[in-house]
Chains A and B, each alone.
Chain A
């Protein structure tokens, strides 16, 4: 393990640079952009979960007073199939049809037409005047039934991908994937115990508090400017360009502050529509979703059915593991079943395994990335089955995980060998944690589970500018969703050797900074951080050579120490050190403004493992579950801003517990979501939760100068199984499915 390094700024938790604006109401979020002469856009949504669209006539709406534009699928170009970068965005041809339905409405709430009018009220009335002729079709709502050979098809051209041969019949299975190693039969033969189960989890929503919103204005030259809340304005620009068949250079995207995303704001819904409406109307158009629209028409994550079988010896060693995963993609291909399959066994060294995944179309909204997309569902199943193994062989669940834990050099189930990873360190920390060594409170149960996420690198750019007084501007292109400006500022301060207060970080628009992939995949602090560090190193190199020129030395006779240029050891010179401020002040005489930059496609993202445990209590009368305590332990590699790392761990835990205990999409037989509001789709509130204890483990990622791994996604993974395992421990009854809502718990207790 690498030595712990003492840093001056990295590892401290100062106030974020955008903080004051965010506690005073100044910060501008998606819905806060208003322009003179602006219109309001609204979307007409399908009342059917599955229907052929025979015709759409917007003429009556367009004729109304105050209505300035109306569009439907016919106004959008047809789009070539192709991937757009980012996290789980999917095929852009599908995204185009999701943004505006063409010949078929594929879920209740699917956009069918849109208008722009002088007020929201007029726009809403105009929607009523749009005439749509539908031919309703039977909705396909259950993932397993959707896979049947005689199921109603969502898409007659969907032929299952990745089969050895192209099938001769279309189906709702968009693709399959398999990962396998070793000899499964031999593995199960060596087992002393075998546990097998099927685990179902319904769709859940990211639940960001800020609904999607954007304002677009297209001028007479055909140049568009779009303000929106997004996790990646560069990718929103690329998607909009493809969906409208406009040149990238004609589109400028400005990311507002973003009120949460968790993966759900990595894909466009409103933006291409607003641009088209603005183009037709010749005026700016603002569009803001209602909460109901957010639930019905934007990215939940997949509902899933996972079947798992594990064989283990009495000493805890897993001899074989098998999994079958079916994930709901919603209306278009793209369920995160691949990352689900790649993550399910990732924390463990298993010789013999097989996992099969299925990406399945159903008449529900097209899923979008949600924090560690695909991992919570699959890992819940495995971690619950593993808990049953521990019970059967009478082993502490942490010990069982330690026996099988992946470590440096273990070949990950998805291919590469792990470099240094922190899973064992997390298990050890859990074992010693006072919350684990203390007895389980009377009447409660304790659950333990592991979590994992790959983390990703991808493309980032950063620019660092030195002001005349030596203060520092960092410019990058990743919307700050949880304090990343502060983390960038800390890494810049550390690298340059100047106080954090002298550094300000800004998020540029698509025309003022270089390309950055989305804020997602837990990549920002890692990859964009790497770009910031490299841009600072560029500054240092330039400052050294300016100092060398000033002193009449060679560049290599100068070093950078504590924020100043000094003669290198052994260089004899009677000069005083030159600080960044000194060099900035004399910049006009040494070559002009000081500007550093870096762009990269980051490699070597470090996987982040976690161990979580919690004590939960079940009320046998009401079926309500109370979380008495919860502890998250996670390897961050290096926590640049520890308070925000803890915040990621706590927030992810709350989302995971919400999904485990309450959250679910409830559909009626017609495919209409019955709980499309925060009253009935119940996310955790303050009184539902205790303080969430955290312990950050730091096993540095060798591919980052400060050891960063990325922390945002892993925290949501383990809480699902922690809840299941704690409820099992508390009640003696194993409930395989989520959520562990009161009715489900009461039913299980009464069956027992």
Chain B
């Protein structure tokens, strides 16, 4: 099967890769681009482990074709940290022990970034519904929600 040339911007860098027409963005990120921080938990849009931000929108990369990303700006977990320091969301996930196994964590952090970018002051209910597409089997969500609340406050202070 012949491959297609796809040009995207990933975490600020121009990235060109060859992808097959059926390939999901998730598989392209992992297998063609080497961005292994984005995880696959289901491949069917039900777990959010593969969350990335495409042109400002939070998407499940397993549900999007790589070809659809032509010309798009993509943010993956590898692009969240700022310079040589962690992003406040990452700091707060660590401080609140909001990860146990950590496999859901990239997806949660990307989803949280997308949330706080559009709503800097979400209440608990908003956070829970926004993150309802991200499964975590380890934590029971309590510490994740607290980390997100605390990150929102921290970012508000910084702003």
Contacts and interface: CB of A to CB of B under 8 A. Distances in A.
Interface of A: 13, 15-16, 18-20, 22-29, 31-32, 121, 206-211, 257-262, 288, 290-291, 481-483, 641, 643-644, 646-648, 650-655, 677-679, 683-689, 691-692
B70 interface: no
A24 B86 contact: yes
Which of A261, A482, A655: most chain B Cβ within 10 A?
A482
A527 to B, nearest CB: 19
Interface string B76-104: 11101100001000100111110111111
Which of B1, B109, B142, B146: most chain A Cβ within 10 A?
B142
B58 to A, nearest CB: 14
Contacts of A683: 135, 137
Contact of A651 (B39, B128, B137): B137
A650 B142 contact: yes
B8 interface: no
Contacts of B131: 685-687
A210 B103 contact: yes
Contacts of B42: 291, 677-678
A678 B100 contact: no
Contacts of B127: 686
Nearest to A682: B46
Nearest to A209: B41
Given A210-B39, A677-B42, A691-B142, 19 more contacts: A15-B94, A16-B97, A22-B99, A23-B99, A29-B39, A31-B30, A206-B137, A209-B49, A259-B102, A262-B137, A482-B100, A483-B97, A643-B97, A651-B139, A677-B46, A684-B141, A685-B131, A686-B136, A687-B132
Main secondary structure of the interface of A (DSSP, over half): loop
Contacts of B99: 19, 22-23
A25 B136 contact: no
A596 B36 CA distance: 36
A644 B100 contact: yes
Contacts, number: 184
Contacts of A291: 41-44, 46-47
B97 A259 contact: no
Given A260-B137, A643-B96, A211 B40 contact: yes
A23 B109 contact: yes
Nearest to A681: B46
A691 B145 contact: yes
B120 interface: no
Contacts of B142: 646, 650, 689, 691-692
B86 A20 contact: yes
Contacts of A16: 94, 97
Contacts of A31: 30, 39-40
A714 B97 CA distance: 20
Closest 7 A/B residue pairs (Cβ): A25-B37, A259-B103, A654-B140, A22-B102, A650-B140, A25-B77, A678-B46
28 contacts: A24-B77, A24-B86, A25-B35, A31-B30, A121-B1, A208-B137, A209-B39, A209-B49, A209-B101, A258-B103, A259-B41, A259-B104, A260-B103, A291-B42, A291-B43, A482-B138, A641-B97, A646-B143, A647-B139, A650-B141, A650-B143, A654-B141, A655-B140, A685-B132, A685-B141, A686-B129, A686-B145, A687-B129
A20 B96 CA distance: 13
Contacts of A651: 100, 137-140
B61 interface: no
A259 to B, nearest CB: 3
Interface string B14-56: 0000001000000000100001111111111011010000000
Contacts of A685: 131-135, 141
B36 A22 contact: no
Given A25-B77, A686-B128, A209 B137 contact: yes
Given A208-B137, A482-B100, A689-B140, A23 B40 contact: no
Nearest to A656: B140
Contacts of B106: 23, 25
A736 to B, nearest CB: 26
A23 B94 CA distance: 8
B36 A25 contact: yes
B132 A26 contact: no
Contacts of B47: 209, 291, 678
B144 interface: yes
Contact of B139 (A25, A207, A481, A650): A650
B77 to A, nearest CB: 4
A686 B102 contact: no
A207 B104 CA distance: 12
Contact of B76 (A20, A25, A211, A687): A25
B134 A686 contact: yes
A584 B130 CA distance: 52
A20 B77 CA distance: 12
Contacts of A641: 97
Nearest to B36: A32
A594 B106 CA distance: 38
A466 to B, nearest CB: 27
Given A209-B136, A683-B137, A685-B135, A258 B101 contact: yes
Interface string B103-135: 111100100000000000000110111011111
Contacts of B36: 25, 28, 32
